Structure formats: structure tokens, C-alpha cells
Structure 1
Amino acid sequence: MIWIQFLMLLAAIVIGARMKGIGLGVMGMVVLTVYILLFRMRPADPPIDVMLIILAVVTTAATLQAAGGMEYLVRLAEKVLRSKPSLIVLLGPLVTYVFTVFAGTAHITYSLLPIIAEVATKKRIRPERALSVSVIASHLGITASPISAATAALISILHGTITLPGLLKICIPATLIGILAGVAVCWKKGKELNEDPVFLEKMKDPAFAASIDTDTRAARAPLPRGAKTSVVIFTVAVILIVLIGSFPQLLPAFGEGSSNLSVDAKGHIKMASVIELVMLAAAAIIMLLCKTTPAQVASASLFNAGAQAVVSIFGVVWMSATFMQTNTGVIEHALGEMVRMAPWTFSIALFILSALLFSQAATTKALMPLGVTLGILPAHMVAMFPAVNGDFVLPGYPTLLAAINFDRTGSTYIGKYLVNHSFMVPGLVSIGVAVAAGFFLAGVL
């Protein structure tokens, strides 16, 4: 029976991924309905905390975008990227990583990818090198961000054993080491641009050749008056979350027996609730001080992307959690001995599931509780946290598709066999090295 249920779960994920957008969410609900009505499975708790975090963080990021703060940050990043064009393969991923760590979502990098592609092309550096590892770096940034839904989910699962600063002091250096490894393997990846037959064929078109070397930095409209102020407010909010995570005694305690969605069994306010409170309060302050309207926020591209993510995670995680809850005994028996002998093998399961779910938060919420059940040490689970970034394996994630579309030279591609694409090698290397570095740092720290 478990195999039939598992095949249904896989079918929902594959069909939902092909539908894109909210497809994962609605297909997850279809299978969950069958689980409940046909197999009489008891539904697990829906991922309310993860959904609310995504909604809160994305709403605040969209408010920052509507106030002009995002454009201000992009212009600062553009100066960095254009200052050393010969180092674009290194600077590109570092900039996208910092942006994601700061904002808690990889969707913030859409404005950076065309700049990275243009700088590389003008310098005649193969854009694939910079774009592929930059996308991977933006994904790894989610597992090093203090305000991402994935980080909050893991802190909640490991509550009482790992704090936010404890997680960040392992994940930030580990993911950076992984990114540098990805940069190393991409530094000379593929043919030089001036030797690439696809690019040379495109250059035969005079209009294309002229556009390649044309400076696209046209006169831009001045930034809104509150752009810089919105960045300051957002930055203060992120710092406040880190401070509260470092010093939880700053918050009131309500005593045992007062638990609910916002308060744990010991009477402490959950980290997820802290992120939601601080982020939405910051959004309100930005709207008030920077003269940004709710309508502008709701129409921002980041808000739309976040709404789709919430629906997707709602369905697919609820379905997956119900399957895991019903079959925990069988799964634990199958994986238990292997994981107890070699804890790092659990990272393979995290990687495979994330490749199917297209979400770090969904993977964390669905599978990390099993790691607790299997007795994996909290420090080892933090070390394996970067493994939830397998969403690049099947090239359907929006950031991958955006990078391919922004590369006008055609060097960034999806291969004939679907998985032999530009992001596979830097992704496997970066995540593998990040997990290995995480285990080393967990042992040392």
C-alpha cells in the first residue's frame, strides 16, 4: 500500500511541476483528498507557520520594491559588478548570495541576472559561467538567511537544541565555501565566448552584434524619495530578528501550558512568529514613511511570486507530511540503520526530495522531522541543511529559466536530456562542498 501512496505523491509532484506556478499546490491537494477519502489517512498539520513566514517576508520585500528600495540596492550591486568585469564569475554569485541572505528569498535576484549576463558578454566571458553559479548561490543564500522560511522551519523543528545564531555560524561559512567551490569549477567552464559556434553564428547578424556592445545603462528615472529610507527600515528589521534570535530573553515568557500557534510549550514566542511580527511591522513603517500604497505593494512582482509560493507549499507539504506521518514506522525501519551508521546519507534524501518539491522550506518542513525521529544530532542536521537546495536538478525553477532567457549569447542552456544543463555541475559541487564544510564546522564549533 505504501508504494501506491508514494507513486501517487510522485505523480502529483511531477504533474504539478509541469503545470508551474500554483500547480504543485493544487495537485498536492488532489492527492491529499484521495489519501483521506480512499486510504483513510489522518491528515497532518498544514504548514501554517511556513506559509505565514513566506507571506510576511515577501510582503515586506514587495513593500521595499514598491518604495524604490530594491532599485536602489540593484544600482549599488550594478556598480560592484561593473567595477571589475573580469571577476564577474566571482562577483556575480557573491552579490546574488548577499541579496538572498538579506531578503530571505531568491526571487530578489531577477533584477541582477541581466546585469551579470551583460557584464560577462561585454567582457567576452562566457555568460554561462557567471549565471549558472550565481543562480546556485542565490539558492544557497536561503539556507543562510535569518529571515527565510526554510531557516525558521528548521529552527522550529530543532527548537531548544539549536538557536538562530548557532545555525547561522555554521550555514553562512559553509554555504560561502560551497559557492567558492562552484566558482572554481565554473571559472573556465565551456568554450571561450569568441570560440563558441552558437555565439559566432549570432554575431553574423549586424543588429545582434551592435546590440551586444551597446551600453544599456540609459538615463534612469530618479529614485523615489523614500528609497534609501525603505532600505534602512528593512535592514533594521533584519538586525532586530537576529538580535531576538540571539537573545530570546528580550521577549516575554508566558509559562508552560500556554502554547498555541505563536507560543511554544514552554511559553516562549516562536521564532517564526517573531519574523512575521517584525517583517509586517517593517512593511507598515515603510508604507507610512515612504508614501507607498498597499495597492503598489500588491502589484509588485515579488508579491505575486510569494503568493504562488504560499499556495504551492500549502498543498505539497500538507500532502507530503500526511504521507510521512502515516508511514513513519516503515520509513524509519528502512532508513534507520543506514542513517545511524552514516548520518550524512540523510542529506541525499533531503537533496532528492528538494529536487521534486522545488522548495527549500517545503523540503525542510516535510523531511527534517524524520531526521529528529531517526536520532540524528541537531548539529548534523544543520550541517546537512544546504542539501535542501536540489531545486536546480530539474530545470523548471523560475531563477534558472530567467538566467537562460537573459543570456542572449545562448551559452546558458537546457540540454537534450533535460538534466545535462548549465546549472548541474556548479550545483552538485557547491552543495556537496557546503554539506561537507557544514559537518566540519559543526564538529569544530
Structure 2
Amino acid sequence: MSEQGAAAEAKASRGTRPYLVLVALVVGLLAGTFAQASGDGVREPLIQVASYVGGLWLDALKMTVIPLIVALLITGIAAGAEAARAGRIARTSIIWFVIVCTSSAIFGAVMMTLLTSAFPLPASAGQALRTGLAAIDPSTASAPIPSIGDFFRGIVPGNVIASASNGDVLPLVVFTVLFALALARIASVRRQAVVTFFEGVADALLVVIGWVLYIAPIGVFALGFALGASAGGAAFAGLAHYIVLVSVIGILVTLWGYPIGVLAGRKPFGEFAKALISPQSVAISTRSSLASLPAMLGSARALGVREQVADVTLPMSVALFRATGPAMNAAVAFYVASWMGYQPSIGAAIAATAVASVISYGAVSLPGEVSFISSIAPIAMALGAPIAPLALLVAVEMVPDIFRTLGNVTMDVAVTTAVDKSTEEG
């Protein structure tokens, strides 16, 4: 993704817009809850209108998902491959990124499954939410669970265009990853031409997402009204439950950075924790890893990280590495599956976890409202869970997004210390 595209989307996500979306959700849920008291002659027509308006906005979000997956994966993998050719420090950084992202995806999937089992949403609230979401989008009904044989048979696409059309994310991701890796084997001029093309596609699609998010208060209000009118107070309980559990995942990933800094980076715990205070403060206030980069560079130097390592690994981290992304994105998808009463097969769970890991390589370093749908919808689709709930959850993403950025910044510095130690000349 180019700097121009990042700047355009960062502007769309700043200011009061996220707060307006949150207010629209709360007002819509309250209005819908009050509408429950009116007769069906009033309530049902209002639900139909709200569902129609909200459904249009939801479709506008959905339409960018498949092409954006392809564009961001190609540009992200190409950028990683280019960086890996830059030298030992870059290669070591990429290895750390892959290890952490893969581990993060597995952690998020497993931990959310455990959390929803240990602290489930009350059955009555879950049923009310499923009924309300079904009124908004009939596709929220669970699809038949494929067998393990069907899962492995479907990994390699017989027709990649058909896979994209049908929303079969895993085979599409497999093809896109192979295509992106193949680009590294062709002439530099031709490779750059293809990558530049997909960078332009990604930038344009992110601008479209910015336009869709600009009218998010209208769409979210309509969806919130329809949900509130059908589910009542259960909608608030479900959203609060979601925020707490997903935020816990972000906190745990943040804490994971400390052992990496202490054990792999060989830094004293107190010194490491003290150095992180400044970038963590910036991360909480801005929800942007990019804005936290100067503070991270200062922390790395305070920890004695060699300048050539900090100047390579930290900018690469901001561009390519989001440690909390795979964990929290997988957690959201698995939460939605639990929310909708869907029990994914082992094959679907493996597919979703793999997609959560790989899709993070193409994610953009922007506040979560912008990349929320494009990053999580592919995981939910691979899991077999509906993506309609994401249009509501994006309204409360500003809370978990604080923990996303906090964990990313903490892990960026931690991995940088580990790279510094592992590339020392012995």
C-alpha cells in the first residue's frame, strides 16, 4: 500500500468519526429497543426499512473484501520478499514476524474458544441476537459443516475465479500466496509493474472503504435499530461481552512481548518495561503504530539496540508486522461463530487460523475501523461464520483497537531486541 493510500485512510479514521459511529450504534439500539413496545403494525415496517438500509451499507462493505484480499496479499508478500533480500537483519526480522504472526493466530483461535466456553454469553441473549441478526441478513444462518475430506479437497482451487465468486477464501488465499511468491522469480521490471498495479488497486479500494465508512453512522444506526427491535437489551449484553473478551486477547498478546524482550532480547525486565512506557503512551493516545515509531526508535536506543538494527527492523515492523492482528482477528471470527451458535469443524478452524496468519502480512498499519472488515471477513468466511455481525462490531472497534496498537508497539520493540541479539557478531 502506498503512503498516499495510507494517508487518505488514516484521515478517514481520525477525528470524531469513530465516536459518531459508536453513538449511532447506541442510539440505534436504544431506539430499536423502545420500538419493541409498539405494536407489530409499527415495529415490523420500521424493522424492514432499517434492515433494507443497513443491508445496503453491509453489501457496500462486503463488495471490497475479495479484491482487497488479493491486492493486499500480493503487495504485502512482495514487500516482505523485497525486504528479506536487503540483508541479514531484514531476513532475521522477517523470520521473527512469521513466527510471531503464526503463533499469534493459533493463540487467538484457541484462547477465544476457551474464553467463550468458560464465560459464555447467556443462552437467552445469544438466541435473541441470532434472531435479530437473521432479520438483518438471512445469510447469518449457519451453512452445513464440511467434512475434513472436503476441507483438504478444497484447498487448491480448480477455478480461482469461481472461488472468488463463491467467497471460498482459503483456496483464493493459497492461489494469491503462490502468485505473489512466483513474482519474486520473474524479472525485476515486470515484477515491479505487477506490484505497482496491485498497489494502485489496494489504494483505490481503501479509498472506497473510506467512503463507505464515511456514511457508517447511517448504516450502523439502521443495523442497530433492526437488531435492537428484534433482540432488545440482549444486544447491549452481547456487545459488552464481545468487547471484554476480545480486549483480553489483546492484553495477553501485549504481555507476551515482555518474555520475548527479556529472554530472546536479553534485556532486564525493569529496564525493558521502563523503555516501553513512552511508545505505549503514544500508542494508547493515537491508536497508530506509525505515530508511535519515533517513540519506539527512542526506546530501542535506550535499550542499547544497535542503530542499524533499530533503523531496519522497526520501520519494517510498522509496515509489515502486526502481532496482535492474527490473534485478535481470529478471536473476533471465532467469537462471531460462537455468537451465532455455529460449531466449526476442525478443518474450518485450521483454515481460519491459517488465513488469520497469512492475511496479516497484507494488513495496513491503520486504526482498526479502516481495516476491520477487510482483515476479519476473510477469516470468518474461511471459518464458515457470517460476516454481517462485523458491520455492528466495527462500531465498537475503537475500544479493542487500543489494545491492538498497544500490543503491536510492545511486540515491535520486543522483536527488535531479539533481532539485535540474534544478529550480533559472535
TM-score bracket, normalised by the shorter chain, equals 0.3 to 0.5
Q: TM-score, normalised by structure 2?
A: 0.36
Q: Determine which structure has the larger helix proportion and give its number.
A: 2
Question: Larger relative contact order (C-alpha < 8 A, sep ≥ 6)?
Answer: 2
